[in-house]
A and B are shown apart, each in its own frame.
Chain A
Amino acid sequence: MTIRIKKGKKINGIISSVQEMSGVDLSVCFQCKKCTSGCPVSAHSESPPAEIIRRLQLGAGNEILDSDLIWTCASCETCFARCPMRIDTAAVMDALRALAMARGAKVPAGNAPLFNKAFLKTVEIFGRTYDLGMIAAYKIGTSTYLQDTDKFPAMLKKGKIALLPSWDADKKTVKRIFNKTVKTR
Chain B
Amino acid sequence: MKYTYYPGCSAESTSRDQHTSSKAVAEALGIDFIELKGWSCCGSTPAHQTDRVLAASLSAANLQLAQKAGRDVVVNCASCYSRLKTANHEVSSNPGMRQKVGEAMGGEYDGSVNVRHFIEVLIHDLGLGALQEKLKYSLNGLKVAPYYGCLLVRPREIMGFDDPENPTSMDRLITAMGGESIDWPHKVECCGGGLALTRTDLVISLTDSILSMAEAAGAECIAVACPMCQVNLDMRQLDIERNRGKQYNLPILYITQLLALCLGASREKTGLNKLMVPPEKVTRAVISGVSAAT
Chain A residues in the interface with B (C-beta under 8 A)? 21, 23, 40-41, 44, 71-72, 74-78, 80-81, 88, 90, 94, 97-98, 101, 109-112, 115-117, 119-120, 123, 127-129, 131, 135, 138, 147-148, 150-151, 154-155, 158-162, 166, 168-171, 173-174, 176-178, 180-182, 185
With CB as the reference atom, state the residue of chain B lying closest to A110: B198
Judge whether B41 and A180 touch: CB under 8 Å: no
Interface size class of B (residues with CB under 8 A): 35 or more
* Contact with B54, one of A97, A109, A148, A177 (Cβ below 8 angstroms): A177
How many pairs of residues, A versus B, come closer than 8 Å at their CB atoms?
Answer: 177
Complex-state Cα separation, A131 to B41, whole angstroms: 12
B52 near A123: Cβ-Cβ < 8 Å: no
Are B38 and A131 in contact (CB-based, < 8 A)? no
Knowing A94-B49, A115-B198, A120-B46, say if A166 contacts B104 (CB, 8 Å).
Answer: no
The smallest C-beta distance from A58 to any residue of chain B, in angstroms, reads: 25
* A74-B43 Cα distance, complex, nearest whole Å: 15
Which of B9, B51, B94 meets A182, CB within 8 Å?
Answer: B51
Q: Which of A41, A44, A182 contacts B50 (CB 8 A)?
A: A182
Known: A21-B52, A74-B190, A173-B106. A127 touches B40 (CB 8 A): yes
* Sampled A-B contacts (6; CB under 8 Å): A44-B205, A76-B193, A110-B198, A112-B199, A120-B46, A131-B14
Q: Are B9 and A151 in contact (CB under 8 A)?
A: no
Closest 8 CB pairs of A and B: A110-B198, A76-B190, A116-B46, A77-B154, A170-B38, A76-B150, A169-B40, A129-B9
